[in-house]
Structures are given as structure tokens and as C-alpha cells.
A and B are shown apart, each in its own frame.
Chain A
Amino acid sequence: MSKTIRPAVVLFAALTILTGLLYPLLMTGAAQLLFPSQANGSLVQKDGKLIGSSLIGQNFSDNRYFWSRPSATSPQPNNAANSGASNLGPTNSALTDAIKARIDALKAAGPVPAGAVPVDLVTASASGLDPDISPAAAFYQVLRVAAVRKLPAEKVQALVERHITPPQWGFLGEARVNVLQLNLDLDRL
């Protein structure tokens, strides 16, 4: 019995110090040395002020901007201190009602192309912090943004095209557009 208690307690303590303190602290040091920008959150500054992270989606609902995907975080959307999703099931009428309201809001906000709405633009993301929209979702908003800003649609369209990130290594993930970067460049047009 006591031959088991001592190794159990001591090994637990030793491995706690090793894997729970030394390992994360040394990893923090190594990460700060090798990849300081990534390790600190891929932060975006503007005029010396922190305005967000290129990895974390922000809420854009102003008609002047490309909208982000819907976010189900609480209390406010895109709350990066409380990530989360809607968790609505596919047969739940609350889901279809929410999507219908989002489609109406898009159509009320300004001119939209004929045809169906890209699915990612009207469905809530998993993290509530999705930084991206699909290229289809960005193109869907070009007419509105161009009209509100009184810019030629071709110019806005070209800006979106420049912001498309293709699938990584050609086959991993999806083509996407980072909404924060797109909107920052939009303000510079």
C-alpha cells in the first residue's frame, strides 16, 4: 500500500511541475522568440492603436462595410471573450426564422444581385468569431457597398478579388476573404 502511495503522489507532483509549469512556460518563451506576432494574437494596429486581430472576426453591420458572418456570441456579436455558436438544429424553426430575417436585412440594406444568397453569409459561424466570408458572400455585397460609397462597382469588385485567399497549399480548406482586412482597404479606396 505505502509502496504505491509514495510513487503515486511524487510522480504526480513531478509531472505536474514538468508538464504544467515548465512545458507551457518554455513553450511561451520559444513562441515569443520564434513567432512573436502570431503568439500574441496576430494583432492589427492602425495609427498606433490596436483595432483588432486579423484572425478574429469583428461585427460589421454598417451598410458602408462588407458584413461579417452572423455571430451567435453573447451578449454582443463577435464577443472575443466568450466564443460560441447558435447550436440550432437543422429542423428547428428558430434557425429558418433567423436565416429569413438575415436575408431580408441584406435585401433591405441595398442593391443585391439576382439569384440565391450564399449560405455562409446568412448562417452563424461555429466560433462566433469567423474572420472570413466566402468569395461568393463578398461578391454578393459589392453592389451595396459600391452604391453606399458612390464608388464604381468594378473598383469594389476588383478590391474583393485582390483579397481572396485561395485554399492553403492548393487543396486545404476553402477560398476565403478576410473581412477586417477587406474593410480596412475599402476605407483607403
Chain B
Amino acid sequence: MTSDALILLGTFLVALLLLSYPLGGYMARVIKGDAPGPVRFFVPVERFIYRLCGVDPEQETGWKGYTFGLILFSLIGTLFVYLLQRVQGFLPLNPQGMGAVSPDSAFNTAVSFVTNTNWQGYGGESTMSYLVQMAALTVQNFLSAASGIAVVVALIRGFARHSAAAIGNLWADLTRITLYILLPLSVVFGLLFVGQGVIQNLSPYKDATTVQATQYQVPRLDKAGNPVKDAAGKPVIDTLTSKTQSLAMGPVASQEAIKLLGTNGGGFFNANSAHPYENPTPLANFLQMLAIFLIPAGLCFTFGAMVGDKRQGWAVIAAMAVLFVALASVGLWAEQKGVPALSHLNVDQQASALQAGGNMEGKETRFGINSTMLFVAVTTSASCGAVNAMHDSLTPIGGLVPTFLMQLGEVVFGGVGSGLYGMLIFAILAVFIAGLMVGRTPEYLGKKIEIFEMKMTALTILVTPTLVLVLTALAVLTDGGRAGIANPGAHGFSELLYTFTSAANNNGSAFAGVSANTPWFNIMTGIAMWFGRFFMIVPILAIGGSLAGKKRLQVTSGTLPTHGPLFVVLLIGVVLLVGALNYVPALALGPVAEHLQMILAH
């Protein structure tokens, strides 16, 4: 790691803390329906929505009603996103005349955006109309984020309440989170992005006459789309000349803001946050990283405020920060070292004042190594999945870092809401293990952790590793899965492992060389995303409901304090242990093998 990397990392963490701490308090307030001055503008909108829906925001439900509502709400969203893609050709705001998306791809994208994964099998600028980008994808960026936050709020209420039957009113939670948290932040970040050069318009693509004509070669195709071959059986190649560059346009900034704030990660363009119109400057990149972590970090403080003990929130965020800094540092180091094979070709990979150096394949000059690798760690430790570089071209260790960050269960900050609820599940597991060691009934935040909670905890912790490992194995064993591999050798296995790790953990980033837009991958990743999301949410809400009904225990000398360094270390240990036990064998076959191959070849 260079000193520039340390300065960037330090500045980022300080800025994050300064912004997320007040946001945490603000979120705790508005979720209760107490909107302060600047956003009071939305209060009549909130009331109007309740009237339309016919709900009383004060009337709360138990966990089953909450869960049923959330799943129904998500199913409606999935259906709508699917249908809009299928009929986009007949609808307005489609200046490029995009036709219907194929059924399997539309299904995959619908599940992907509703589950907050935002895995993308398609290229945005060559597939989606502006209407789909806005009314289907941007909407789910808001709603899937609001759903994640609602679930963690309901779980926290389970800890904060005692002898209660209800964990909240889902409709009021979703409305308040959208109106008072996500929308105002999106407006602010969206305008900041436009100021840096992110586009925001509804124009058709613009044809520019380039300074120099471009010659390029394409295989000639017949009417059926098959390559034409000459007498010798070789494909016929045509040389074409292009004097124009078609600049893709669109309402990008509005989607960009919520893509990051909601840890969604679905890019407007195929290249996502590497595209200069999505992420034009290093400052924009810095703001994007902040936007990704802002709400997940803030929710830790919301948690402390809601359970009435701020130290509890500090303990959770401390554990997250330690894991983040450790893994981000490894990634920064690995990419700066570069690729040995290139040094042998006499390519200069040394960092200097005149160049970033390092492994620059699949990276942008303006970001270099540091702004890229910090982004890589941020986007995969949060379940965002936006990318400002192509992860498939990372060095083996540089690629292991994002893979492992996801495999930890997206709890290092994690997705909005989902990161904290995942981490609280690990906290429950940590107190349980500590309780076993000393022979006491475990308790967390004054709530006794009993058989039901532990069953649900075990379920949530096991569901994603099962999905990841079983589906990766299936991919390796089937033609449909192997057909997707882009790079040979161990790297090809890493691609498949990354694919299902990303899908089941609802991250959405990719080793994008994988040809994922096939029926096989669209269906398999669709399954991974859906169950990776809702097999977590249902047991977690069940835990919330069960905890809400319990009495609160008094703190005694025998209570394990869950706010000190001892607990932080215990929590980190449990997260790492579970992650390592599940995934070390798979990682050994992929990135570790490739790393050895890379360094031993020279």
C-alpha cells in the first residue's frame, strides 16, 4: 500500500463517520414518524399515501403480517418490472426503439432488482428504454432498499420492545423510509453527481463526428445471423470504417444516486460506475463510495438509538470497520503489485507521480489503483455491486478480497438494512457461543436467546453458503454452467464461484466475462437471488417477532457486556470463522490456485 492509499482510506473513514453519525439519529427519528423541519414538506404526501392505501400508520402487526405484506409487495414489484421490460417497445420514453427483453432475461432482471441484488445480465444502453430505467429499475432501487431498512427496523424493535405482539406497520415504514431518507438523499447526491458530469436528460443518443475515422473488423453474417465462411472454411471478415461515435444518453444521475444510496448497484450503462457518464471524476467516485456506506453505517447508530444504548451501535460498527480496513488493505496491496507476466514484457507497473502503475487491465486512468480498489472493497462489503473496474481482470488476490467480503454474508456494513440484520444475527451467534463457553443461557440486549431464535439464526447463516456452494458445483458439473466461463484454468472456476456468491448474497457485481445472459444462468442466478434474499428475511422477522414478545432481563454481574472491545473481537471472530469454514475449500480451488500459478510461472 502506498501512502496515497492510506490518506484516501483515512479520509474516507473520517468523512463516513462525520456523515453517518448524524444520519443515524435522524433515521431513528423519522422512522417513528417525527419529521424535522427541512423534510416536513413530505408530511402531506405521507398522509395522502396512507389515505389512498386505507391504512392507519399507528396500527401495527405481528411478524407474520409484516412478512406476508413484504413478500406480497415484492411479488407485485417483480411482476411489474418483468412486464414493463416485455412491453417496452410499445411504450413512450424509448428514443432508441428498444424492443422487448427476452423472457428469461426479463425474469432475471426483475428478481435481481427486487431483491436488491442488481445483478445485470444485460447491457443497459443497448437493452433498456428510458421508461424501464426510470419506472421499473429506479423504482426498485428505492423499494428494495426501503424493504431492507424496514426489515432491520422491525428486528431492532424486537430487541427494543418487551412483552409486545407487534413489530411495526410495514406500509408506514416503507413510506417513511422512502420519503424522508431515500428521496432527500437521492436528490442531494444526484445533483452533486450532475455537477461532476453525470448526465441527466431524455435525449436520443447523439452522433458525434469523431476527429479520426475508426477502422474495425467484423465477421460477416448471413440473414440468419450465422457467420459466412469462404471456400477454405474460414470466416469472412469485413473491414468497416466508422466516422461517428454514438453517445448513449439518458436520465442517469437520478438512477445513479439511489443505485448507490440503496446499495443496489445496477448501472444505467453496461460498464456501470466505470462509465465516464456514470462516474466522471475522482470526486464523483469518492462521493459514490460514501453514498454506498452512508446508510449501512448510519443504521448502526440508528440501532444504538432505538435500543437506548448507543454503545451497542458503536460496537457493531467497530467490528465492521476492522474487517473492512483489513480486507481493503489486502486488495490495495495486491493490485498495486501488478501482474508478473507484464513486467516480463517490459511493461512499467511502478507507481509514480506520472502514473498509477499496478494492474491497469479493466481499470480507468482517473481512478488508478487506489480509488479503484477502495471502491472494490466498498461495493462488495456493502452488498452494492456497482463496479468502477472490471473485477474479472483483478489479480487473483485482488479478486479474492471482493469474493470473500461477499462470502462473509454481506455483513461488513452490508446492504442497506440487510447488512445490519445480518450482523445482528452474527451477534446472536456470538453471544450463544460465549454462553456455551461459560455455561449460561445466552442473552443479547436483555433478551434471552433460546431454541427458536437459534434455529432461525442457524437457518439464516446456512442458507446463503448452501446456495452458493451447491449452485457453483452445479455450474461446474453442467454444460450450461461451463458454457459461461470466459477465462481458462482456475480463473474460470473463480468466475463461477463469484457469480453465485454475488447472486446469493444479493451483491450483484460480477466477474463479468461470464456469459450470464443465457437461460441457464438467468434462471439459476434468479433462484440464488430470490432465496438468498427471502430465506434470510423470513427467519429474521420471525426472530424479531419472538424477541418482541419476551420480557427484558435485568443486567447482572453475569451478563456478557455486548458493547466493549471483548465483544467486538468475539463478533469479528465469529464472522471470520463462519466465512472461512464455509468457503476456504472453494477459494483454494479458485483464487488461491490462480495466485500460485501466477507467481510460480515466473
Whether A39 touches B186, Cβ cut-off 8 Å, given contacts A34-B194, A81-B246, is: no
Asked whether A133 is an interface residue with its Cβ less than 8 Å from the other chain, the reply is yes
- Tell me the complex Cα distance, A44–B258, Å: 29
Asked whether A111 is an interface residue with its Cβ less than 8 Å from the other chain, the reply is no
Question: Which residue of chain A is the closest to B182 with respect to CB atoms?
Answer: A19
* Residue from the list B371, B393, B395 in contact with A86, Cβ < 8 A: B393
User: Cβ of A78 and Cβ of B171 under 8 Å apart?
Assistant: no
* Residue from the list B8, B72, B249, B355 in contact with A119, Cβ < 8 A: B355
* Residue from the list B277, B285, B355 in contact with A55, Cβ < 8 A: B277
A10 to chain B, nearest CB (A): 5
Asked whether B68 is an interface residue with its Cβ less than 8 Å from the other chain, the reply is yes
* Residue from the list B55, B68, B248, B598 in contact with A81, Cβ < 8 A: B248
User: Cβ of B125 and Cβ of A82 under 8 Å apart?
Assistant: yes
Q: How big is chain B's contact interface, by range?
A: 35 or more
* Segment of B212-220, B430-438, B564-572 in the binding face: B212-220
B247 to chain A, nearest CB (A): 5
Residues of chain B within 8 A of A115, CB atoms compared = 348
- Tell me the complex Cα distance, A116–B8, Å: 28
User: Cβ of A116 and Cβ of B346 under 8 Å apart?
Assistant: yes
- Tell me the complex Cα distance, A87–B205, Å: 26
A60 to chain B, nearest CB (A): 6
Residues of chain A within 8 A of B286, CB atoms compared = 172
Residues of chain B within 8 A of A108, CB atoms compared = none
- Tell me the complex Cα distance, A98–B395, Å: 17
Contacts across chains A and B counted by CB atoms under 8 Å: 397
User: Cβ of B199 and Cβ of A69 under 8 Å apart?
Assistant: no
User: Cβ of B197 and Cβ of A55 under 8 Å apart?
Assistant: yes
Asked whether A85 is an interface residue with its Cβ less than 8 Å from the other chain, the reply is yes
Asked whether A184 is an interface residue with its Cβ less than 8 Å from the other chain, the reply is yes
User: Cβ of A85 and Cβ of B598 under 8 Å apart?
Assistant: no
Asked whether A175 is an interface residue with its Cβ less than 8 Å from the other chain, the reply is yes
Select the residue from B11, B277, B338, B486 with max chain A CB neighbours within 10 A. B277
Question: Which residue of chain A is the closest to B4 with respect to CB atoms?
Answer: A171
Residues of chain B within 8 A of A79, CB atoms compared = 245-246
User: Cβ of A6 and Cβ of B486 under 8 Å apart?
Assistant: no
User: Cβ of B186 and Cβ of A23 under 8 Å apart?
Assistant: yes
* B170-190 at interface with A (beta carbon < 8 Å): 171, 174-175, 178, 182-183, 186-187, 190
Residues of chain B within 8 A of A82, CB atoms compared = 123, 125-126, 270
Asked whether B208 is an interface residue with its Cβ less than 8 Å from the other chain, the reply is yes
Give per-residue flags for A37-68: 1 if the beta carbon is below 8 A from chain B beta carbons, else 0: 01111111000011111011111111001000
User: Cβ of B269 and Cβ of A83 under 8 Å apart?
Assistant: yes
Question: Which residue of chain B is the closest to A174 with respect to CB atoms?
Answer: B368
Asked whether B582 is an interface residue with its Cβ less than 8 Å from the other chain, the reply is no
User: Cβ of B125 and Cβ of A83 under 8 Å apart?
Assistant: yes
User: Cβ of A41 and Cβ of B277 under 8 Å apart?
Assistant: yes
B254 to chain A, nearest CB (A): 4
- Tell me the complex Cα distance, A133–B8, Å: 21
Residues of chain B within 8 A of A7, CB atoms compared = 53-55, 69, 171
Question: Which residue of chain B is the closest to A6 with respect to CB atoms?
Answer: B54
Question: Which residue of chain A is the closest to B391 with respect to CB atoms?
Answer: A87
* Segment of B356-364, B415-423, B443-451, B533-541 in the binding face: B356-364
User: Cβ of B347 and Cβ of A4 under 8 Å apart?
Assistant: no
Asked whether B275 is an interface residue with its Cβ less than 8 Å from the other chain, the reply is yes
User: Cβ of A89 and Cβ of B171 under 8 Å apart?
Assistant: no
User: Cβ of A24 and Cβ of B277 under 8 Å apart?
Assistant: no
Question: Which residue of chain A is the closest to B205 with respect to CB atoms?
Answer: A81
A34 to chain B, nearest CB (A): 7
* Residue from the list B76, B202, B274, B347 in contact with A85, Cβ < 8 A: B274
Asked whether A142 is an interface residue with its Cβ less than 8 Å from the other chain, the reply is no
User: Cβ of B194 and Cβ of A35 under 8 Å apart?
Assistant: yes
Interface size in chain A (residues, C-beta < 8 A): 106
- Tell me the complex Cα distance, A27–B388, Å: 24
Question: Which residue of chain A is the closest to B200 with respect to CB atoms?
Answer: A31
Dominant secondary structure at the B interface? mixed
B443 to chain A, nearest CB (A): 34
Asked whether A158 is an interface residue with its Cβ less than 8 Å from the other chain, the reply is no
A22 to chain B, nearest CB (A): 10
Give per-residue flags for B249-272: 1 if the beta carbon is below 8 A from chain A beta carbons, else 0: 101011100100000000001110
B52 to chain A, nearest CB (A): 5
Residues of chain B within 8 A of A55, CB atoms compared = 197, 276-277, 280
* B36-78 at interface with A (beta carbon < 8 Å): 45, 49, 52-55, 65, 68-69, 72-73, 76-77
Asked whether B410 is an interface residue with its Cβ less than 8 Å from the other chain, the reply is no
User: Cβ of B135 and Cβ of A21 under 8 Å apart?
Assistant: yes
Asked whether B489 is an interface residue with its Cβ less than 8 Å from the other chain, the reply is yes
A133 to chain B, nearest CB (A): 6
* B551-602 at interface with A (beta carbon < 8 Å): 594, 597-598, 601
Whether A174 touches B214, Cβ cut-off 8 Å, given contacts A38-B199, A83-B270, A134-B354, is: no
Residues of chain B within 8 A of A85, CB atoms compared = 271, 274, 362, 390, 392-393, 512
Residues of chain A within 8 A of B389, CB atoms compared = 126
* A89-136 at interface with B (beta carbon < 8 Å): 89-92, 95-96, 99-100, 103, 115-120, 122-136
Asked whether B409 is an interface residue with its Cβ less than 8 Å from the other chain, the reply is no
Give per-residue flags for B364-401: 1 if the beta carbon is below 8 A from chain A beta carbons, else 0: 11111001000000000000000111101111100000
User: Cβ of A127 and Cβ of B366 under 8 Å apart?
Assistant: no
B10 to chain A, nearest CB (A): 10
List 21 A-B residue pairs with CB atoms under 8 Å apart, sorted by A's residue number.
A11-B73, A19-B138, A34-B195, A56-B245, A75-B218, A85-B392, A86-B361, A88-B361, A90-B598, A100-B345, A118-B355, A119-B348, A119-B357, A123-B360, A135-B353, A136-B354, A171-B7, A172-B285, A173-B366, A173-B371, A176-B365
Residues of A within 8 A of B (CB): 4-12, 14-16, 18-21, 23-24, 27-28, 30-32, 34-35, 38-44, 49-53, 55-62, 65, 69, 75-92, 95-96, 99-100, 103, 115-120, 122-137, 139, 167-169, 171-176, 180, 183-184, 187
Given A92-B487, A134-B354, A136-B355: 14 more A-B contacts, CB < 8 Å: A12-B73, A12-B76, A19-B142, A40-B249, A52-B245, A55-B280, A84-B270, A87-B392, A90-B359, A90-B598, A118-B347, A119-B342, A125-B365, A127-B269
Residues of B within 8 A of A (CB): 4, 7-8, 11, 45, 49, 52-55, 65, 68-69, 72-73, 76-77, 80, 123, 125-126, 134-136, 138-139, 142-143, 171, 174-175, 178, 182-183, 186-187, 190-191, 194-203, 205-212, 214, 216, 218, 240, 242, 245-249, 251, 253-255, 258, 269-271, 274-277, 280-283, 285-286, 338-339, 341-342, 345-349, 352-368, 371, 387-390, 392-396, 486-491, 494, 511-513, 594, 597-598, 601
**8 closest Cβ pairs, A-B complex:** A173-B282, A87-B513, A126-B274, A116-B348, A83-B271, A174-B368, A20-B135, A31-B200
